[in-house]
Chain A
C-alpha cells in the first residue's frame, strides 16, 4: 500500500500525475510512502535529490558519498552531485566496447564490490549517452544485488514511453525495486515525451519507509534556496493531459508514434549499413529503442564524422537517431561505413 502525503503544494496536480505515471495506485508493495516535488527539468530533479542525499542520507547531515555513476554517463551528472557537496563520485562499468552493448556481468560485479549503502545512479530506460538497455531479467539480477548490499537506487527516467513505446515497460525497473521494498529516488523528465524541452518540466519522486514529513520539509527548504518554486506553464500542460482520459490517450498515441519512428530509423540504418558490407554487426542498433544509439566508434572516427562529414555526434560515438530522416539516411550510413573502414 502506498501512502501519499496529504500536504500538497500548489503544483500538486502535476506531482500526483507524475507519481501515478511511475507508480500506479494499484502497485502491490510493502508499506511505503511516496512524495513528489516538481522540479526544473531532470537536472533540477537530480540537483534536488543530491541536496537531499547530502543532508539526510544515512542519518548524516553532511553525507559526501560514495555515489556510483555508470561509465560512460552524461558529463554534467558528476558535476551536479559535486555541486551539492557529494564529492566521492565513483563509476561502475556499463558499456562494453567489445560487445557494443551493456554488460550486466560487469554491472553486477562492480555493485557486489561497491561499499555498502552507497547510492547508485541507474537509468530505468533511455540510458544516456549509450541508449543501451538492460532486459528485465538483467534488472532482476541488479536489484537483487542492490537489496543484498543495501545499496540505494537513484533512478533517472529521461524519456518514459519513448524507449519501448510503453510507459509501463519503461518504468518497470523502478516498480520492481519498489516491490522488493527498496527505498529510492527517481528523477523524471517530461522534456522528450512531451516535447516540452524549454519549459523545464521535471519531477523528483521519493519512495521511503519513514519520516516522510521530515524529508519532505527538507526538500521544501532546498527548493526555496535553489529556485523558490518551479515554473508553471509546462507543468500545467502535463498535469492537464495526464489527468484527462481523452488527452491521455492522445498523448500515449503521440509517444508511441515517436518511439515507432525511432525504431523504424534504427532498422533502416541497420539495413543500409549491412548492405554496405564489412565485418561489423549491427544488431545492437535495433536492440534498444529510444532516441540515442551508440556505434562503437573511437575518438578518431568520431572526429572524422564531425570534421569531414559534418555529422555531429557525442564524443563517445552516440547519436540522436531522430536527426536521421529519409533525405540523409544514405549519407549517414555511408559516412559511418567510411569512418569504420578508412585507416584513421
Chain B
C-alpha cells in the first residue's frame, strides 16, 4: 500500500485472508445448514410480527428524529437489556452496580469489553493476560480479542468428541491450571458451535473454581430466549455468577432473538463490585467507544427498548421467541427420530441434548464432504449444522443423506 512510483510495489506483503463465512447463499431448494440466521419452515428469513409492529410505530412517530445517541447509547435500551440478562429483581441492579454500553451487535460488545480489559483489567497493560476461549468456539472470538491487543489467547477444553458432550473434567482442569486473574470467555447458553451447555450443577463447579482463582467471567450471550424458549432459563448461568458475587461482563446480542441481525443491536452489561467502580469503568468505556464508532446506531435499539418496556409488546415478543425456539426443538426431535428409524449407526441422543441453533453432529470431514458434494446438503467442515436450515419438507432428505454418509463413508 502507498505510493511507489515505478515499482508498483503496492502492498506486496499483504496477505489475502479468508474472512469466515457469514452464510453462503445456495440454491434455495438445497438444505443450507451453514447459515447463521433463523429460517422459517419455508426456509425464509422471519421478521418477527412484533418487530413489524414497532417499526411502523417508530415510522409514524413524528416526534422522533435522527439525532446522535449518547456515546454509551440509548439509556432506556441499556437498562432494559441489562434487566433481560440479569432479571428484573436482580440484587446487583438494586445495588446500583450494574451499567451497560449499547454496542454494534454482540461483536461490538465483545470488542468494547476486550478493549477495556486490555487497558484496565489488572493494572494498565494486560496484553500478556491470558484470555481463554472454549475449544471449539465461535470463529470470531479469537480475532476480536487478538485485535484488541491480547497476545496470549488459549483454548480451554470443552467439547468431548468421543462422548459427543461436555468435557467437564478437561474444562475444570484448564480452569485450575490457568494463571490467577485469567479471562475466560463463557457462552451463557446454546454454546456455539457445539450446542452443548453445562448443567446447573456443572456451572456451579465451574463458578467455584473461577471464584477461588479470581478468574474473570466474560459471558457471550447471543441466544437468550432462543435456546430453550424461556428467557430466564437461558440466563441462569449469568445470574448464578452474579449471585456468587462475581464482577463480570455480559456481551448481549439481539440479532437472533429479535431477528434484527443487520441493525446491530448489542449491549455490554457490566456488573461491578460497587457504583464507584461501575462509573469509572463506564467512563473509560466511553472513551473507547468515542474512538471506535463515536456513538451507536439508533433504529434497532429504539425498537428493542420500546418492545421491552411496553408490557403487551414484551409479551408478544416472548411469544415470537418461543415460536422460533420451538421450531428448532421440533427439528431436533424429528431428526433424531428419523435417524433412529433408519437405523443409522451410532447414537443420536446428542441431537436433542444439545440446544440452540447449532448442533455438532459428530460427522467426520469425509462424511461432510460427501453430504456437500453428493447430496447438496451444506454444513460446516466441523460437522456443525444449523437446525434452522431444516424444514418439514427437507428433513426426510437430510436424514436419509446423513444415513448414507455414515453408512458409506468412513
Q: Which residues from chain A sit less than 8 Å from chain B, CB to CB? A: 10, 40-44, 47, 52-53, 55-61, 76, 79-80, 82-83, 117, 150-152, 182-183, 191, 195-200, 208-211, 213-215, 217-218, 220-222, 224-234
Residues of A within 8 A of B22 (CB): 229
Residues of B within 8 A of A41 (CB): 293-295
Are A198 and B66 also in contact (CB < 8 A) when A41-B293, A224-B20, A227-B107 are? yes
The docked-state distance in angstroms from the alpha carbon of A79 to that of B292 is 9
What would 17 more interface pairs be, CB under 8 Å, given A43-B293, A117-B3?
Answer: A42-B294, A43-B292, A56-B14, A59-B1, A79-B287, A183-B3, A191-B68, A195-B66, A198-B295, A210-B8, A210-B10, A214-B11, A224-B107, A225-B107, A226-B108, A230-B264, A232-B263
> What's the nearest-Cβ distance from chain B to residue A78, in Å?
9
Are A231 and B291 also in contact (CB < 8 A) when A183-B2, A214-B14, A225-B144 are? no
> What's the nearest-Cβ distance from chain B to residue A342, in Å?
34
> What's the nearest-Cβ distance from chain B to residue A88, in Å?
15
Which chain B residues in 271-330 approach chain A with CB under 8 Å? 287-288, 290-300
CB atoms of A76 and B291 under 8 A apart: yes
Q: What are 23 contact pairs spanning A and B, CB under 8 A?
A: A40-B104, A43-B292, A44-B293, A47-B291, A56-B1, A59-B1, A79-B287, A80-B292, A183-B3, A197-B68, A210-B11, A215-B11, A217-B16, A217-B18, A225-B140, A225-B147, A226-B107, A226-B147, A227-B104, A231-B104, A231-B299, A231-B300, A233-B263
> What's the nearest-Cβ distance from chain B to residue A160, in Å?
18
Name the residue on A nearest B298 (C-beta).
A198
Does B341 reach chain A (CB closer than 8 Å)?
Answer: no
Residues of A within 8 A of B147 (CB): 222, 225-226
> What's the nearest-Cβ distance from chain B to residue A116, in Å?
9
Q: Select which of A57, A222, A224 is within 8 A of B1 by beta carbon.
A: A57
Residues of A within 8 A of B1 (CB): 52-53, 56-59, 183, 208, 211, 215
Residues of B within 8 A of A196 (CB): 66
Name the residue on B nearest A80 (C-beta).
B291
Residues of B within 8 A of A209 (CB): 8, 10
CB atoms of A231 and B264 under 8 A apart: yes
Q: Select which of B5, B14, B143, B146 is within 8 A of A211 by beta carbon.
A: B14
Does B13 reach chain A (CB closer than 8 Å)?
Answer: yes
Name the residue on A nearest B25 (C-beta).
A10
Does B12 reach chain A (CB closer than 8 Å)?
Answer: yes
The docked-state distance in angstroms from the alpha carbon of A48 to that of B1 is 15
Residues of A within 8 A of B177 (CB): none
> What's the nearest-Cβ distance from chain B to residue A180, in Å?
11
The docked-state distance in angstroms from the alpha carbon of A47 to that of B108 is 14
> What's the nearest-Cβ distance from chain B to residue A62, in Å?
11
Q: Select which of A59, A82, A210 is within 8 A of B13 by beta carbon.
A: A59
The docked-state distance in angstroms from the alpha carbon of A76 to that of B140 is 27
Are A227 and B264 also in contact (CB < 8 A) when A59-B11, A195-B66 are? yes
In the A-B complex, the 10 residue pairs with the closest CB atoms? A198-B298, A227-B104, A43-B294, A228-B107, A232-B262, A231-B297, A225-B147, A40-B293, A210-B10, A233-B299
CB atoms of B15 and A200 under 8 A apart: no
CB atoms of B140 and A61 under 8 A apart: no
CB atoms of B297 and A200 under 8 A apart: yes
Residues of A within 8 A of B3 (CB): 117, 150-152, 182-183
CB atoms of B66 and A224 under 8 A apart: no
Does B24 reach chain A (CB closer than 8 Å)?
Answer: no
Are A61 and B293 also in contact (CB < 8 A) when A198-B298, A222-B147, A229-B262 are? no
In the complex, which of the residues B2, B67, B287 has the most CB atoms of chain A within 10 Å of its own CB atom? B2
The docked-state distance in angstroms from the alpha carbon of A265 to that of B118 is 47
Residues of A within 8 A of B11 (CB): 56, 59, 208, 210-211, 214-215
The docked-state distance in angstroms from the alpha carbon of A10 to that of B35 is 15
The docked-state distance in angstroms from the alpha carbon of A80 to that of B189 is 34
Q: Which residues from chain B sit less than 8 Å from chain A, CB to CB? A: 1-3, 5, 8-20, 22, 65-69, 104-108, 111, 115, 140, 143-144, 146-148, 262-264, 287-288, 290-300
Are A221 and B143 also in contact (CB < 8 A) when A226-B292, A228-B104, A233-B263 are? yes
> What's the nearest-Cβ distance from chain A to residue B408, in Å?
36
The docked-state distance in angstroms from the alpha carbon of A197 to that of B69 is 8
CB atoms of A198 and B292 under 8 A apart: no
CB atoms of A227 and B295 under 8 A apart: no
Residues of A within 8 A of B14 (CB): 55-56, 59, 211, 214-215, 218
CB atoms of B111 and A226 under 8 A apart: yes
Name the residue on A nearest B303 (C-beta).
A233
> What's the nearest-Cβ distance from chain B to residue A140, in Å?
18
> What's the nearest-Cβ distance from chain B to residue A233, in Å?
4
CB atoms of B263 and A224 under 8 A apart: no
Residues of B within 8 A of A82 (CB): 291
CB atoms of A227 and B293 under 8 A apart: yes
In the complex, which of the residues B1, B69, B140 has the most CB atoms of chain A within 10 Å of its own CB atom? B1
The docked-state distance in angstroms from the alpha carbon of A209 to that of B11 is 10
Residues of B within 8 A of A47 (CB): 291-293
CB atoms of A224 and B264 under 8 A apart: no
Are A40 and B8 also in contact (CB < 8 A) when A59-B13, A182-B3 are? no
Q: Select which of B9, B264, B294 is within 8 A of A59 by beta carbon.
A: B9
Q: Select which of A56, A151, A200 is within 8 A of B293 by beta carbon.
A: A200
The docked-state distance in angstroms from the alpha carbon of A217 to that of B14 is 9
The docked-state distance in angstroms from the alpha carbon of A80 to that of B263 is 24
CB atoms of A221 and B17 under 8 A apart: yes
CB atoms of B263 and A198 under 8 A apart: no
CB atoms of B264 and A229 under 8 A apart: yes
> What's the nearest-Cβ distance from chain A to residue B1, in Å?
4
> What's the nearest-Cβ distance from chain A to residue B72, in Å?
14
CB atoms of A217 and B2 under 8 A apart: no
CB atoms of B263 and A231 under 8 A apart: yes
Are A211 and B296 also in contact (CB < 8 A) when A220-B17, A229-B262 are? no
The docked-state distance in angstroms from the alpha carbon of A220 to that of B18 is 9
Name the residue on B nearest A213 (C-beta).
B16
Name the residue on B nearest A51 (C-beta).
B147
Name the residue on B nearest A237 (C-beta).
B66
Residues of A within 8 A of B115 (CB): 83
Residues of B within 8 A of A40 (CB): 104, 293-294, 296-297
Residues of B within 8 A of A150 (CB): 2-3, 5
> What's the nearest-Cβ distance from chain A to residue B207, in Å?
29
In the complex, which of the residues B14, B22, B68, B298 has the most CB atoms of chain A within 10 Å of its own CB atom? B14
Name the residue on B nearest A11 (C-beta).
B262
Name the residue on B nearest A228 (C-beta).
B107
> What's the nearest-Cβ distance from chain A to residue B6, in Å?
11
The docked-state distance in angstroms from the alpha carbon of A224 to that of B142 is 11
Residues of B within 8 A of A227 (CB): 104-105, 107-108, 111, 264, 293
Residues of A within 8 A of B13 (CB): 59-61
> What's the nearest-Cβ distance from chain B to residue A326, in Å?
22
